[in-house]
Chain A
Amino acid sequence: MKTFRLGGVHPSENKLSAASPIKQAELPKQAVFSTYQHIGAPAKPVVAKGDVVKVGTLLAEADGFVSAPVYSSVSGKVAKVDAIVDASGYRRPAIFVDVEGDEWDESIDRSQTLVKLSDRPDLTPQEIVAKIKAAGVVGMGGATFPCHVKLSPPPGTKAEYVIINAVECEPYLTADHRLMLEKPDEILVGVALIMKAVGVTKGFIGIENNKPDAIRLMTEKAAAYPEIEIVPLQVKYPQGGEKQLIQAVIGREVPAPPAIPIHVGAVVQNVGTAFAIYEAVMKNKPLVERVITVTGKSLQSPTNFLARIGTPMSTLIDACGGLPEDTGKVIGGGPMMGKALLNLDVPVCKGSSGLLIMNEKEARRGEEQPCIRCAKCVGACPMGLEPYLLATTSAFRNWEKAEQNNIVSCIECGSCQFTCPSNRQLLDNIRVGKSTVMGLIRARNAKK
C-alpha cells in the first residue's frame, strides 16, 4: 500500500467519533467572526454596529489577492466590531453578531438536490475560480490558505494532477471521514470542479486505510468519474502533510522551500474544501458552516457537528454533555498540530477541523530528560532533517548553522517531539529557530 518515503510515526488513532453522524449544531446567541480566518492579509470589515445581517451577508471583504472575505453565518444585528483572542492566542479584529432567527440570503440555494457538472456545462474555469474567491473558501484542513490562490497557478507552472487530501492523519479527528460517508456525491462534483478550474484530467483522492468504509463508498461513487481515482494509503502520520501526500500518491518530491507543490504539477485540496467548493459554485453558498469534530476521552458524547462559522466553542461543548471537571487542555484541531486554546469563547473558524478535550493528566508533558542521542527523532522526521541538531542550534541561537541544516524545511508536524524518549521540547525550539531564520532570509532578500 502506498505511503510517503521518509520517517513518520503512528500515534494511537482514538477516532472516538467515527460512528457518529454529522449533527447540525444549534445556533449560538452571539456569533463572532474573526477577520483573520485565513493565511494572508486580514479581511476588512464592511459592517458597523447596528447593521442588520442575514446568513450570507458580507461582513468583511478580502484585502488583496492572498486574502478571503468573511460572510455572516447567522441572521441578526451587528453588536460591535471589536477584537477577540483567537485559537493562536493573538487578539484579532472581529465582528460580533447578535443572533435573531435564521434568515438566509435569497441568492443561496438551500435545497439538497445534487447539481452535477454536466448540469452546468457553461461554467468556465475563470468563473469557477471567481466564485470560489467570492465565497471566501480557504483550505479547510487547517492550513486555511485562500483556495483561489492555489487554483491560479503562477506563470511558468502547469498543473498536471489534482490531489484531494482525505487522509485525516491527525488522531481523534473524524470530520473528513464523516463528510465522505454522508456527502460523497457532492465531494466528487467539487473535485471535478477543481480539476476543471486548473485544467487537469487526472484527480486522486488519498484516503488512509483506517477508513475502509469511506474508501469503499468513494470508490463506488467514483465509478461514474473515470478521471478520478481513489488511492488507499497506509496509515502513517503526517500523511496529510501536503508534501507527504503528493509523494505518497504520485511519487514526486516537492523541492525544498521556496518551491511549492505546483512546481511538481500538483494541486492539493482538502476533501472538506472540495465540498465547500461544490456548495460555493453550484449552490451559490459562501463558506458559512463547516464540519467540526468535538471529541476527547473524558467528553460524554464525542460528536461531529455541522457548525456555523462564528459559533463559540463553549456552545459545541455544551451540546456534547458539557466540559468535564478534570479538563486540563482544550485543543483547537488535532493533538499533533492543534493549538491549545486560552478559553472557550474562541469561535469556530474556517480552519477549525476539531476540538479536543484532554484531562489534566493527558495534558501535562512528561519531564524533560537529557538527550541520549538515540537518533529516533532523525528516524521519525518526514522531511529528512535532524531535529536534535536543529533544536540545539536554535536554543544556542546559532541561526547560521540552523539555516545550513535546512530548518526552513520543517513542517512542524511534531513527529520528533512525539517520538523523543527524553520528552525533549524539540519542536518548541525548532519553531523559534525556523521563524527567526525565515525572518533573516526575508530581510536578506529585501536588501538585494
Chain B
Amino acid sequence: MKKFIVSLSPHVHSTDSVQRNMYGVCIALIPALLASLVFFGLGALIVLLASVIACVFFEWAIAKYILKMQRTTVCDGSAVLTGLLLGFNLPSNLPLWIIVIGALVAIGVGKMTFGGLGCNPFNPALVGRVFLLVSFPVQMTTWPVSGQLTAYTDAATAATPLAVMKEAIKAGDPSVLDKLPDAVSMLVGQTGGCLGEVSALALVIGLIYMLCRRIITWHIPVSILATVFVLSGVFHLSNPIYASPDAVLMSGGLMLGACFMATDYVTSPMTPKGQVIYGVSIGLITVIIRTFGAYPEGMSFAILIMNAFTPLINNYCKPKTFGEVTKK
C-alpha cells in the first residue's frame, strides 16, 4: 500500500525564504550602488567588488575548513549583503589589503565566531568597519572628492560635511557651516564620504522598496530619523553652531545606518515596541556623539551599542497578547 507523508500542520508555506529577504535587501541597495559608481567610478567598483568577494570567500572558507559545517550558508545571500554593506561603509580610495582585513573581521569575528547566520549579536559589517576605523584611522577618514571616475588610491580628498559640522562646533562659529554643500547636492550625492552614504535619495528609494516588499517594517528607520531630526533641530535652534536638522539627516552614514544597518534582522529587537525603543536610542546616541564626541560620525557606534542592548530589549518589550486589554 502506498505510504503517505505524515506531518503536522500547517501543510503550506508562504514560500518566503532567507534568500528572498537577503537578496531583496541587495536589490534595495542597487540605487545606492549606482550612485556610488556614478560619483566615485573605478574606486567604488574596486572597493565594493573586493569587499563582497572577500566576505563570501571568508564565509565559505571558515564554514568549510574551520567550523566544518555540513552545509554552508554562502548561497543564502547574507555574506553578499555583509560585503556590500561593509563596502558602502568604506572610502573609495581604501587599499585592497585593508578591505580584506575588514572583511575577515566582519565575517570571521563579527559573524562566524558566534555560530554563523542568525547567531551574531553585532552587525558584522559594522564590526568590520569600526575595527578598520580604530585600526587605520588615517586611511578610513580621508574622503575622495566625488566625480573622479578613474581614480582609486590616488584620488584627491576633501573634508566631508560631517567634518565641517564638527569644525563649526569646535570653533563655535556658525559661519563655518557655510562651507556645507547645499541641500540638493547632499540629497542627490555630490558630497564626499563613504561609498554608500553619498546619496540620501538613493538610500531612501531602497528603503521604500524594502517597505513595499515587506522585507522590513517602518519602526526602526522612522524612529531613528525622527529622533535625529527632532534632537538636532533642538540643538540647532538653541545655538546656530549646530547644523540644521535636514543637513544632519542627509549627511554621513545616517541614512545608510537607519535604512540598512540598524534594520539588520539578526541584531535588532523582535517586537514593534522594542524596535521603536532601539531606533530612538540609536538616534539619541548618534546625535550625542556627533555633537559632543571625539568622532565626527556616531552612527556605527550607536548601532553597535544598541545591538548589545537588543537581548535586554527583547526580554522586556513583550508584545501585547490577545485579550490582555480586557483583563481586569
Residues of A at the B interface (CB closer than 8 Å) are 6, 9, 11-12, 89, 171, 243, 247, 252-256, 259, 264, 323, 327-331, 333, 335-343, 356, 358, 360, 362-366, 369-376, 378-379, 381-386, 388-389, 405-406, 409, 412, 414, 417-423, 427-428, 431
Give every chain B residue within 8 A of A376 (Cβ-Cβ): 16
Q: What's the minimum C-beta distance from A258 to chain B, rounded to whole angstroms?
A: 11
CB proximity of A217 to chain B, nearest CB, Å: 29
Q: How far is the CA of A379 from the CA of B319 in the complex (A)?
A: 10
Residues of A within 8 A of B97 (CB): none
Asked whether B10 lies within 8 Å of A335 as measured between CB atoms, the reply is: yes
The answer to whether B4 touches A255, judged by C-beta atoms less than 8 angstroms apart, is no
Q: Kindly state the separation between the CA atoms of A431 and B217 in the bound complex, as whole angstroms.
A: 28
**Cβ-based interface call for B68 (8 A):** no
Whether B12 lies near A365 (C-beta < 8 A) is no
In the complex, which residues 167-221 of chain B have their Cβ closer than 8 Å to any Cβ of chain A? 217
Given contacts A243-B323, A328-B4, A414-B9, contact A373 B14 (CB under 8 A): no
Q: What residues of chain A lie closer than 8 Å to B9, measured between beta carbons?
A: 331, 333, 335-340, 412, 414, 427
Q: Which residues of B contact A327 (CB under 8 A)?
A: 2, 4
Q: Are B323 and A253 in contact (CB under 8 A)?
A: yes
> Please, which residue of chain A has its CB at the minimum distance from the CB of B20?
A421
7 further A-B contacts with Cβ under 8 Å, apart from A255-B326, A255-B327, A389-B270, are A252-B326, A328-B5, A343-B4, A366-B17, A370-B119, A384-B322, A421-B16
> Does B321 sit within 8 A of A, measured CB to CB?
yes
Please judge, given known A-B contacts A341-B4, A370-B116, A374-B21, whether A386 and B16 are in contact too, CB under 8 Å.
no
A-B contact pairs, 11 of them (CB 8 A): A247-B322, A255-B323, A259-B323, A328-B4, A339-B9, A370-B118, A372-B266, A373-B118, A385-B319, A418-B14, A420-B16
Chain A residues near B116 (CB-CB < 8 A): 370
User: B324 is contacted by which of A12, A370, A384, A423 (Cβ under 8 Å)?
Assistant: A384
Partner of A384, one of B13, B217, B321, B326: B321
Chain B: residues with Cβ within 8 Å of the partner, total of 45
Query: Given the complex, which residues of B lie within 8 Å of A384, measured CB to CB?
Result: 319-322, 324
* Interface assignment of B27: CB less than 8 Å from any CB of chain A: no
Query: Which residue on A lies nearest to B17, using beta carbons?
Result: A421
Contact present for B73 and A370 (CB under 8 Å): yes
B6: Cβ under 8 A from any A Cβ: yes
Given contacts A11-B12, A427-B8, contact A253 B20 (CB under 8 A): no
Known A376-B16, A421-B18: A256·B118 in contact at CB below 8 Å: no
Point out residues on B near A: beta carbons under 8 Å.
Answer: 1-2, 4-14, 16-18, 20-21, 73, 76, 78, 116-119, 217, 265-272, 275, 318-327
Chain A nearest CB from B315 CB (Å) reads 10
CB–CB A365/B13 < 8 A: yes
B8, B16, B20, B323: the one contacting A256 at CB < 8 Å is B323
Taking a contact as CB atoms closer than 8 A, the residue among A243, A364, A375, A419 that contacts B270 in the complex is A375
Shortest Cβ gap from A363 to chain B (Å)? 5
What are the residues of chain B within 8 A of A378 when measuring CB–CB?
Answer: 270-271, 319
From B7, B265, B322, A375 is in contact (CB under 8 Å) with B265
Contact B11 A331 (CB under 8 A): yes
Q: Is A254 touching B323 in the complex (CB atoms < 8 A)?
A: yes
A343 with B326: CB separation less than 8 A: no
Are B321 and A330 closer than 8 Å at their CB atoms?
A: no
Residues of B within 8 A of A382 (CB): 322
Min Cβ gap A436→B in Å is 16
Are B8 and A431 closer than 8 Å at their CB atoms? yes
CB distance from B65 to the nearest CB of A (A): 20
Residues A336 and B11 in contact, CB atoms below 8 Å apart? yes
Question: Provided the pairs A372-B117, A374-B265 are in contact, do residues A253 and B270 lie with their beta carbons within 8 angstroms?
Answer: no
Kindly list the 6 A-B residue pairs having the minimum CB-CB distance in the complex, ordered from nearest: A414-B10, A370-B118, A384-B321, A255-B323, A374-B265, A335-B12
CA of A358 to CA of B321 in the docked complex: distance in angstroms?
Answer: 34
* Nearest Cβ on chain B to A366's Cβ, whole angstroms: 6
State in angstroms the CA–CA spacing of A374 and B12 once bound together.
20
CB nearest neighbor in A for B271: A378
Chain A residues with Cβ under 8 A from B11's Cβ? 329, 331, 335-336, 338, 340, 356, 358, 363
Q: How far is the CA of A365 from the CA of B11 in the complex (A)?
A: 8
CA distance in complex: A256, B326 (Å) = 9
What is the bound-complex CA distance between A373 and B8, given in angstroms? 23
**Shortest CB distance A402–B (Å):** 13
Contact across chains for A375 and B323 when beta carbons are under 8 A apart: no
Residues of chain B lying within 8 A (CB to CB) of residue A365:
7, 13
In the bound complex, CA of A40 to CA of B201 (Å)? 62
Which of chain A's residues have a CB closer than 8 A to the CB of B6? 89, 329, 340-342
Q: Once the chains bind, are B319 and A340 in contact (CB under 8 Å)? A: no
Which listed residue, B10, B323, B325, touches A409 by the CB 8 Å rule? B323
Inter-chain contacts of A406 with B (CB < 8 A): 321
Please pick, from A372, A414, A420, the residue contacting B118 in the complex, using a CB distance under 8 A: A372
A371 to B120, CA, bound (A): 11
Residues in B neighbouring A343, C-beta threshold 8 A:
1, 4
Residues from chain A with a CB closer than 8 A to the CB of B272 are: 379
**Cα–Cα, bound, A298→B16 (Å):** 23
Contact at B322–A409, with CB atoms within 8 Å? yes
Residue of A nearest to B78 (CB): A372
Instruction: Select one of A342, A366, A386 contacting B318, CB under 8 A.
Output: A386
Nearest-CB residue, chain B, relative to A325 = B2
Taken together as a complex, chains A and B put the C-alpha atoms of A312 and B10 apart, in Å, by 24
Q: How far is the CB of A312 from chain B (nearest CB, A)?
A: 14
Min Cβ gap A387→B in Å is: 10
Q: How far is the CB of A186 from chain B (nearest CB, A)?
A: 31
Chain A nearest CB: distance from B323 CB in Å? 4
Please determine whether B321 and A385 come into contact, CB atoms closer than 8 angstroms: yes
Q: Which of A362, A383, A405, A420 contacts B322 (CB 8 A)?
A: A383
Give the residue among A89, A254, A338, A422 with the most B Cβ atoms within 10 A. A422
Q: Provide the bound-state CA to CA distance between A422 and B78, in Å.
A: 13
Q: Which residue of B lies closest to A323 (CB)?
A: B2
CB distance from B81 to the nearest CB of A (A): 11
> For residue B115, which residue of chain A has the nearest CB?
A370
Bound Cα distance from A419 to B320, whole angstroms: 20
Report Cα–Cα, A418/B118, bound state, in Å: 19
Q: Contacts A383-B322, A386-B319 hold; do A427 and B10 have CB atoms under 8 A apart? A: yes
Closest chain B residue, CB of each to CB of A345: B1
Do the beta carbons of B4 and A340 come within 8 Å of each other? yes
Measured between beta carbons, the chain A residues less than 8 angstroms from B327 are 255-256
Q: Are B321 and A409 in contact (CB under 8 A)?
A: yes
In the assembled complex, the CB of B318 is this many whole angstroms from the nearest CB of chain A, namely 7
A224–B313 Cα distance when bound, in Å, is 55
Structural contact, B321 and A364, CB atoms closer than 8 A:
no
Query: Given A243-B323, A338-B9: A9 and B14 within 8 A (CB)?
Result: yes
Residue in A330, A333, A337, A385 whose CB lies within 8 Å of B4? A330
